[in-house]
Structure 1
Amino acid sequence: MPLTMKQWQILPAGLDRFRQTQVAVPTPGPGEALVRVRAVALNYRDVAMVDGTIPPPASGPIVPGSDAAGEVVALGSGVTCLRIGEAVIDVDNIGWFDGPPPAHANSAPVLGRLAEFVVVPAAQLVRAPTTVSAISASTLPVAGLTAWFALVEEGRLRAGQTVVVQGTGGVSMFAVQLAAAHGARVIVTSTSDTKLERAIALGASAGVNRVANPEWEQVVLELTEGLGADHVLEMAGGDNLRRSLAAVKLGGRISLIGLLDDAELRAPMLEILFKRVTLAAIAVGHRRALQDLVQAVDQLRLEPVVDRVYAFDDAPLAFDHQRRGPFGKVVIDLSD
């Protein structure tokens, strides 16, 4: 094992402030594992933290990246749940293993994964799927689990339901695949006909172009014979919540996931009350749900949608691609 490793650091507020550094390989302490990182998938929040939309946890340099897949190369004392050489992915919510979030759980995003080696508490690691590559597995801990948690864990998804998925990013494409696999009818909204066609090829039943149909909620009502959707994944924020509220059925559910348009939400309170809508905030999910998702990926032979893979040295280009809005996921490959 080398004594030093490469990692990327950023000073928040600009991609031009990326720098690759050489640092010592960390040593796992009691209850920890050293993981050789093989792939890191990017999320909206990674770019938002660089740009200042989401405040970083520190004012100085940070090592970005939350989604990672790799293999265990060393174990600290007391670790019996993992083996050297085991392929793993990491849980994003620290200290949340099952059930409601405990009071002591750390809800801040995991960081520090854009490095050749990382030390992770063994309890935060989950065995990776056996049917996909490390590149695909790296997309599961945040984007995959967010979609799974919204639809399956909390949404109690059932065959025959109608789900509205907004956009074609990582969470949205996982939602399309998972909802379709459960027998649900999926309606996707996007500004691109090409992306809508690709989403339908993945299992969506219908697509709505939000440029051609700015009042997209009316199309959803037409497609559902005026009843509305059982579940809407709200990805934009701001005034878009009004449209999601109009598109959901009486007693339906809206999962609050993204803030692509606005970090605030605006919607009429009376309509929320009269429609008896459940508004559920989804901030990824717990460890047991990630284990369930891994089993589903293997059983369904589900292949995560990866738009493009970048080399480790091209990490700034990967962040720029993420900012432009990928179809599915952008992944950084550290396998070499």
Structure 2
Amino acid sequence: MRSYHVNSGAGIEGLSVKEHANPVPGTGQVLVAVKAVSLSYRELMVLRGNYVLPVKPDVIPVSDGAGEVVALGPGVHGVKIGDRVAATLFPSWQDGPFGLQHLPQRGGSLDGMLTELALISEDSLVPIPDHLSYQEAATLPCVGVTAWNALTGDGVGLRAGETLVTQGSGGVSLFALQLGKALGARVIATTSGPDKARRLIELGADEVIDYRATPDWAAKVVELTGGRGADRVVDVAGLLDQSLKAVAVAGHVACVGFVSGAAQPLDPGVLFASGAALRTVAVGSRNQFLAMNRAMEVNRIHPVIDREFTFEEAPDAYRFYASGKAFGKVVITL
């Protein structure tokens, strides 16, 4: 079998393909023929050397993947050969709050999914919804589950009739838009330019704010909500001062990333004045993955894929993703 390998900080040019003997599953393990993987911002961080969690030397990269079960180890009873499955990012995080015991993560301290065959523990697999292709399912483990956690994981959850703000057209934001609409929310999306705005409306956004034309987008959110502010903001950019100005008193801001790279230190006065809850979100548990899949299946939600590449074109997939031109997910098909 073939696998891509890379060292943290080596960049896209550091990706290399190596051949290995086909692995044999041990007790509780499943061998998965990987059919597709998808890229997210964490993959660029691994290659740039600034990922926040440990990365082992010569790691097989990419956390997100889906495939077909082709062999079972002793003691495996929950899946069978031929099953279509996706793998969780944090294999040991089954349910409940995140803790240090769950830090081992695929594509970082553990080998990831950019490989033809992957050994995966049975209890870190989830079945793929029937209406999704392998390519679509490969987009779920990181950004899909992160979006679901941002919307539902605070113990209260987004409620029908509430207002949700999403930022941009990256993977988490598009999932949050689609899942938010499925939960009955009014969605206000921010973006740059009329073409992206049109596509966000087509996906279900109720209003779109062009943050280039309206730099004070937080004030526009307050205006659109009759002075109240949004009930929930999913902040992918790290611009928390603006998100806190856009959210309602006693609302909820889920900080899921800092892709803008331009965030200023958060003023405690702004946080206190908002009266809102601020929660950092890093993916989610296996049970949250399963709950999201049920919601996607019931509502027939299809992830947004911008472009697909072959296994041999994986470095090109990284370059396209890094360009920032993608609307939705970038997928590598095996």
Q: Which category describes the TM-score, using the shorter chain as reference length?
A: over 0.9
- 2:314 is aligned to 315
Q: Secondary structure at the match of 2:102?
A: coil
- 2:86 is aligned to 89
- 2:215 is aligned to 214
For residue 100 of structure 1, report the CA deviation from its aligned partner. 1.8
- 1:79 paired to 2:80: no
- 1:6 paired to 2:7: no
Q: Secondary structure at the match of 1:104?
A: helix
Q: Output the CA distance in 2 between the equivalents of 1:286 and 1:57.
A: 19
CA contact (8 A) 1:318 1:330 kept: yes
Q: Which moved more, 1:8-17 or 1:169-178?
A: 8-17
- 2:290 is aligned to 291
- 1:274 is aligned to 273
Q: How many equivalent residue pairs?
A: 328
For residue 55 of structure 1, report the CA deviation from its aligned partner. 5.6
For residue 104 of structure 1, report the CA deviation from its aligned partner. 2.1
Q: Which moved more, 1:209-218 or 1:268-277?
A: 268-277
State the percentage of identical aligned residues: 39
Matched residue type, 2:173: S
CA contact (8 A) 1:94 1:106 kept: no
Q: Output the CA distance in 1 between the equivalents of 2:255 and 2:82.
A: 38
Q: Secondary structure at the match of 1:172?
A: helix
From the superposition, tell whether residues 151 and 315 of structure 1 become closer, same or farther in structure 2 (CA, over 3 Å). Answer: same
Q: Output the CA distance in 1 between the equivalents of 2:46 and 2:157.
A: 32
- 1:253 is aligned to 252
- 1:45 paired to 2:42: yes
The correspondence of residues 131-170 of structure 1 with structure 2, limited to 5 A, is: 131-154=131-154, 156-170=157-171
Q: Output the CA distance in 2 between the equivalents of 1:281 and 1:328.
A: 22
Q: Output the CA distance in 2 between the equivalents of 1:51 and 1:79.
A: 37
CA contact (8 A) 2:172 2:236 kept: no
Q: Which moved more, 1:22-31 or 1:53-62?
A: 53-62
From the superposition, tell whether residues 260 and 103 of structure 1 become closer, same or farther in structure 2 (CA, over 3 Å). Answer: closer
The TM-score with structure 1 as length reference comes to 0.93
CA contact (8 A) 1:49 1:56 kept: no
Kindly provide the CA deviation profile for residues 251-284 of structure 1, in whole angstroms up to 9, marking residues without a partner as x. Answer: 1110010110239762221232233211111100
From the superposition, tell whether residues 206 and 54 of structure 1 become closer, same or farther in structure 2 (CA, over 3 Å). Answer: same
Q: Which moved more, 1:97-106 or 1:306-315?
A: 97-106
Q: Output the CA distance in 2 between the equivalents of 1:106 and 1:56.
A: 8
Q: Output the CA distance in 1 between the equivalents of 2:103 and 2:47.
A: 21
Q: Output the CA distance in 1 between the equivalents of 2:47 and 2:284.
A: 23
Q: Output the CA distance in 2 between the equivalents of 1:104 and 1:257.
A: 21
- 1:195 is aligned to 196
Q: Secondary structure at the match of 2:93?
A: coil
The correspondence of residues 45-64 of structure 1 with structure 2, limited to 5 A, is: 45-54=42-51, 57-58=54-55, 60-64=57-61
Q: Which moved more, 1:184-193 or 1:246-255?
A: 184-193
Q: Secondary structure at the match of 2:306?
A: strand
CA contact (8 A) 2:169 2:327 kept: yes
Structure 2 unmatched ranges of 5 or more: none
Q: Output the CA distance in 1 between the equivalents of 2:52 and 2:186.
A: 37
Q: Output the CA distance in 2 between the equivalents of 1:58 and 1:262.
A: 21
Matched residue type, 1:117: L
Q: Output the CA distance in 1 between the equivalents of 2:308 and 2:269.
A: 46
CA contact (8 A) 1:256 1:280 kept: yes
Q: Output the CA distance in 1 between the equivalents of 2:303 and 2:24.
A: 32
The correspondence of residues 116-131 of structure 1 with structure 2, limited to 5 A, is: 116-131=116-131
CA contact (8 A) 2:63 2:105 kept: no
CA contact (8 A) 2:236 2:259 kept: yes
The TM-score with structure 2 as length reference comes to 0.94
Q: Which moved more, 1:150-159 or 1:218-227?
A: 150-159
For residue 108 of structure 1, report the CA deviation from its aligned partner. 4.0
Kindly provide the CA deviation profile for residues 18-66 of structure 1, in whole angstroms up to 9, marking residues without a partner as x. Answer: 2122111111111111100000011111012112232673463221111
Structure 1 unmatched ranges of 5 or more: none
Q: Secondary structure at the match of 2:101?
A: coil
- 1:172 is aligned to 173
- 1:242 is aligned to 241
Matched residue type, 2:297: D
Q: Output the CA distance in 2 between the equivalents of 1:192 and 1:137.
A: 29
From the superposition, tell whether residues 108 and 236 of structure 1 become closer, same or farther in structure 2 (CA, over 3 Å). Answer: same
For residue 306 of structure 1, report the CA deviation from its aligned partner. 0.4
